[in-house]
Amino acid sequence: MKRNVSLEEISDGRLYGLNDMVKADCHGCEGCSQCCRGMGNSIILDPLDVYHLTKGLGKEFQELIGTAIELNVVDGVILPNLRMTGAEEACLFLNEEGLCSIHAFRPGICRLFPLGRYYENGSFQYFLQTGECTRPHTKIKVSKWIDTPDLPKNQAFLNTWHYLLNQAEELVNGSEEDEFRKNLNLFLLNTFYVTAYDTESDFYGQFEERLARFRQIVPEPC
Ligand code: SF4
Ligand code: SF4
């Protein structure tokens, strides 16, 4: 989800790489679960998140729709997000102790927080969101904080996915044909989310295969 704010307004004004130290470590949150409540539709899931969720929960994407996941239109494109429920508008995976019950396979946005990604010139860096998490923080290496295996492949996937979504947004928002917008959205949703992943096999290879299929219909922009 794009935010129409300047980096200076929401961050310490710095951009960080994987090897940089950043003041993001909130030491296991120590009983706080603020960012697992009232997040609206902002915890958007990418295909890797859905792979992890379907593998970890042993359920298919469509079984999770309406319970843990909902679909919303983001900048013209239909995407899944974690669903907030109940009087407290809490994530379904927040347990009674205020802990994440799917910590090992939590979505990428949850892994990052309070960091965010800043995309520019075909790649991205990280920024520290200030004012979102009010707990005291200490410094930690970015790569350690995001706690994601296979980082080179992960970074390449995130970049490809971001710019693919950008292209889809431009195509959808640039068209006045409802049928085209609907078909592109359905194609994207089916290709990268609805069609079940083989959770016994590596994600990134499967993503590349799906990307190649997508590119046969929606070529990469020149
Ligand atoms: S707001 Fe900060 S301390 Fe609280 S749950 Fe989120 S990351 Fe943890
Ligand atoms: S998946 Fe876990 S970390 Fe993410 S919002 Fe839900 S409870 Fe919080």
Ligand nearest to the CA of 25: 1
pLDDT (0 to 100) of residue 2: 64
pTM for the full model? 0.94
Does residue 61 belong to any structural domain of this protein?
A: yes
Does residue 3 belong to any structural domain of this protein?
A: no
pLDDT (0 to 100) of residue 23: 94
Distance CA 117, CA 79 (A): 18
Does residue 87 belong to any structural domain of this protein?
A: yes
Strands (E), the chain: 21-25, 69-74, 77-82, 84-85, 90-91, 115-120, 123-128, 138-141
pLDDT (0 to 100) of residue 134: 81
Contacts of 69 (CB under 8 A, 6+ apart): 45, 53, 61, 80, 81, 82, 83
Pick out the chain residues at pLDDT < 70.
Answer: 1-4
Q: Ligand 2: which residue has its CA nearest to atom 8?
A: 36
Is the C-beta atom of 168 inside 6 A of ligand 2?
A: no
Does residue 2 belong to any structural domain of this protein?
A: no
Does residue 218 belong to any structural domain of this protein?
A: no
Does residue 205 belong to any structural domain of this protein?
A: yes
pLDDT (0 to 100) of residue 27: 87
Distance CA 184, CA 169 (A): 10
The atom of ligand 2 lying closest to the CA of 95 is 7
Does residue 221 belong to any structural domain of this protein?
A: no
Please give the angle made by the CA atoms of 172, 124 and 42, to the nearest 5 degrees.
55
Contacts 24+ apart (CB under 8 A), 84-87: 84/37, 84/38, 84/39, 84/40
Domain of 155 in residue numbering reads as 14-213
The atom of ligand 2 lying closest to the CA of 92 is 6
pLDDT (0 to 100) of residue 3: 66
CA of 36 to the centre of ligand 1 (A): 8
Ligand nearest to the CA of 107: 2
State how many domains the chain has.
1
Q: Ligand 1: which residue has its CA nearest to atom 4?
A: 32
CA of 133 to the centre of ligand 1 (A): 5
Mutate to test the pocket of ligand 2, among 53, 110, 113, 133 (most ligand atoms within 8 A of CB): 110
Does residue 46 belong to any structural domain of this protein?
A: yes
* Closest residue by Cα to residue 50 from 66, 64, 34: 64
